[in-house]
Structure 1
Amino acid sequence: MPDMKGAPMTSDSIPTDPRLLIVSGLSGAGKSTALEVLEDLGWETIDNVPIRLLEGLLATGPADGVPLAIGIDSRTRGYDPAAILTVIDQSGSDIEILFLDAAPDVIQRRYNETRRPHPLGRDRQIADAIRAEREMVEPLQRRATMTLDTSDYGVNELQQVMRNQFGDAAGEAMAITVTSFGFARGMPPLADLVFDMRFLDNPHWDPVLRPQTGLDGAVGEHIAQDPAFSPSFERITATILELLPHYAAQGRAYLTIAFGCTGGRHRSVYSAERMGEVLREAGHDPIVHHRNLTLAAPDASNRTATIQPGRGG
């Protein structure tokens, strides 16, 4: 990962909670990406608030101790760096300014790649618009308490730099959801890891177990006694525990682990509950959700004669 340029962002430069941060910089330097990361980390974020509303917003400050980041750049209605600095100085709040910068040729390349118009480029060449904006924002850049040159960063690298700088202070961990579902009612749309548990013996074919669910002890015993369950679940557990730190290192805010069976009431439910226990023992705090638990079991009469009991559900 490239080193940060400009006045480096260090943990000493971040004020204590509650925090109030102005995020500004050159158009195309990554302000929107920076704000998105802060939002994922639990900050309240507001982008391009009109300057006439800035004074009241700064006076109100963060609510309930939740840090607040306000995005301001040349697109902001009423943009006037001198007026902005006056409002900041008169607010009496402990306000930090993060300024995102980038080399002119890099910004020009980014605009050429995205084919988006520069906010100052309606009646001038892109290079002239970039120079004009740099002159315009110079007072804010001089007052910045943190400067980040993104010239050598792709989007992923900029996201990682922001997470590294503000993630610990925000105290937000990756939210893990473990869900069960039934393939008969469709795949979960947001699952990151999906495990198909239909290889296990199906309690649906036992008239006593059919009306029960994977939350009931008898169903759990039936599934756990399947010779295929323990070795496969151990491998699934090892895979998930190995992958979690890597997902977290990529800055994932949410991760969904899904277990599926035919109807989503027996094998998937039991497996999801067991995985929730494993994750809690490993120090995580997962949410366990059962998508199809309350739905009636699929009608077995619709199955063809080629489906064998014990392997068809």
Structure 2
Amino acid sequence: MAGTGQQELLIVTGMSGAGRSTVANALEDLGWYVVDNLPPMMLRPLTELAEKAGNAIPKIAAVVDVRGGRLFTDAVEALRELRESSNLRMVFLEATDAVLVRRFEQVRRPHPLQGDGTLLDGIAAERALMIELRANSDIVIDTSDLNVHQLATAVHEKFGTEDTPGVTVTVLSFGFKYGLPADADHVADARFLPNPFWVPALRALNGTDQTVSEYVFEQEGAREFVEAYAAALEPVLAGYQRENKRHATIAIGCTGGKHRSIALAEELATLLRGLPGVGVNVKHRDLGRE
């Protein structure tokens, strides 16, 4: 890893119930290759595999926890060795005893180390086991006052890049006659505009063609609609970022999904790309279906 200068290895560890799964999911959303519940003895083979993969796996996150049983005691030495040869960072997740007890009680599961004792006994045993790992961690995150969305946002802030969108929007055109998109978060109807289908010179073309787009935006209300819709979506997309909703689908439909919806979707995508923290993809679901 050190030889490539590009690959990163992130170890995610910490107290059971402090949010390791949430962090792992957030890292996956950021493009990390995440391995959950990895025995410490497998860290070295994992890094060697990553080196062979090269740029195909530039960022790897391994979740290491007490479920590894006695193998967990090997973690400190394994991590010490890796720090000498790898671009490695370690994140430790912490929370107060009271918060951890409440979280375990909410899911009605025992602590992995409590055995025949109480939840607090298990938490105390885990803290003792984790002392050196916590002391050697690069980042310690106390999740006591964070919900899952706030924790995921914290991960995004720490491990995202300037090029990482806060929310990725798919602007999807479709035809109502083929059914509503099942995964759409918002649906708009372009059928209030005259249909280019009835213009013989435009019938065979689609909304990506300039002549069709010009025709659509010459119609009364078309420009006003798309600009007002983009403005209305701005606070929604900002809210999605705050609530850690990282993906959204904005669907625009017309009768067949060939002319009006495509032209409006392309323009809406252009406007949304100007919003902070928003990445945009465009998909024309029913283009070519007729």
TM-score bracket, normalised by the shorter chain, equals 0.7 to 0.9
Residues 25 and 101 of structure 1 are in contact (CA less than 8 Å); yes or no, is this contact kept in structure 2?
Answer: yes
- What amino acid sits opposite 1:293 in the alignment? L
Provide the C-alpha distance between the structure 2 equivalents of 1:198 and 1:179, rounded to a whole number of angstroms: 15
Q: Are 1:44 and 2:33 an aligned pair?
A: yes
Are 2:97 and 1:97 equivalent residues in the alignment? Answer: no
Question: What TM-score results when the alignment is normalised by the length of structure 2?
Answer: 0.84
Corresponding residue of 1:85? 76
| Bigger fraction of residues in helix | 2
Provide, for residues 122-172 of structure 1, a one-character-per-residue CA deviation record: whole Å limited to 9, x for no partner.
533222222222222223222222211111111122122222222237x42
Q: Which residue of 2 aligns with 1:113?
A: 106
Secondary structure in 2 aligned to 1:293?
A: coil
Amino acid in the other structure paired with 1:55: R
Question: d(CA) in 1 for partners of 2:136 and 2:72?
Answer: 14
**2:78 partner amino acid:** V
Residue pair 1:20, 1:61 contacting (<8 A) in 2 also: no
Structure 2 counterpart of 1:293: 287
* Aligned residue number for residue 253 of structure 2: 260
What is the number of equivalent residue pairs in this alignment?
279
Q: Which moved more, 1:138-147 or 1:234-243?
A: 234-243
Secondary structure, counterpart of 2:67 in structure 1: coil
Rg (Cα) greater in structure: 1
* RMSD over equivalenced CA pairs, Å: 2.6
Cα 1:142–1:221 change in 2 (3 A) is closer
Offset of residue 30 of structure 1: 0.7
Which amino acid in structure 2 is aligned with residue 213 of structure 1?
N
Helix, strand or coil at the partner of 1:177? strand
> Is the Cα–Cα contact under 8 Å of residues 39 and 45 in structure 1 kept in the other structure?
yes
Partner residue, 1:55: 44
Shift of 1:118: 2.3
Rounded Cα–Cα distance in structure 2 between residues aligned with 1:142 and 1:277: 48
* Partner Cα separation in structure 2 for residue 88 and residue 234 of structure 1: 53
Note if contact 2:13-2:63 (Cα within 8 Å) is conserved in structure 1.
yes
Q: Label 1:222 to 1:90 Cα distance change in 2 as closer, same or farther (>3 A).
A: closer
- The residue number in structure 1 matching 2:180 is 187
Looking at structure 1, the residues matched to 234 and 149 of structure 2 have their Cα atoms a distance apart, in angstroms, of 24
| Counterpart position of 1:22 | 11
Alignment partner of 2:22: what SS? Answer: helix
Letter in 2 for 1:95: L
| Structure 1 residue identity aligned to 2:77 | T
2:217 matched to which residue of 1? 224
Distance apart, 1:245 and its partner CA: 4.0
Q: Is the 8 A contact 1:50 1:78 kept in 2?
A: no
Q: What secondary structure sits across from 1:153 in the alignment?
A: coil
Q: State which of 128, 148, 151 in structure 1 corresponds to 2:121.
A: 128
Greater Cα offset, 145-154 or 123-132: 123-132
Per-residue deviation at 1:76? 2.6
Match of 1:167 among 152, 157, 160: 160
Percent identity between matched residues is 36
Q: Displacement of 1:271 after TM fit?
A: 0.7
> Structure 1: how far apart are the matches of 2:102 and 2:132?
25
Which secondary structure state, in structure 2, belongs to the residue aligned with residue 75 of structure 1? helix
CA distance in 2: counterparts of 1:37 and 1:70, whole angstroms: 13
Structure 1 stretch displaced more, 146-155 or 213-222: 213-222
CA contact (8 A) 2:150 2:243 kept: no
Q: What are the equivalent positions in structure 2 for 1:244-283 lying under 5 Å apart?
A: 244-280=237-273
Post-superposition offset of 1:98: 1.2
TM-score under structure 1 normalisation? 0.78
Q: What secondary structure sits across from 2:68 in the alignment? A: coil
Q: Deviations over 1:5-44 (max 9, x none)?
A: xxxxxxxxxxx85332211011101111112112212222
Q: Deviations over 1:250-297 (max 9, x none)?
A: 44433322211122112111111222333456687632211001111x
Gaps of 5+ in 1: 1-15, 297-313
The corresponding residue for 1:35 is 24
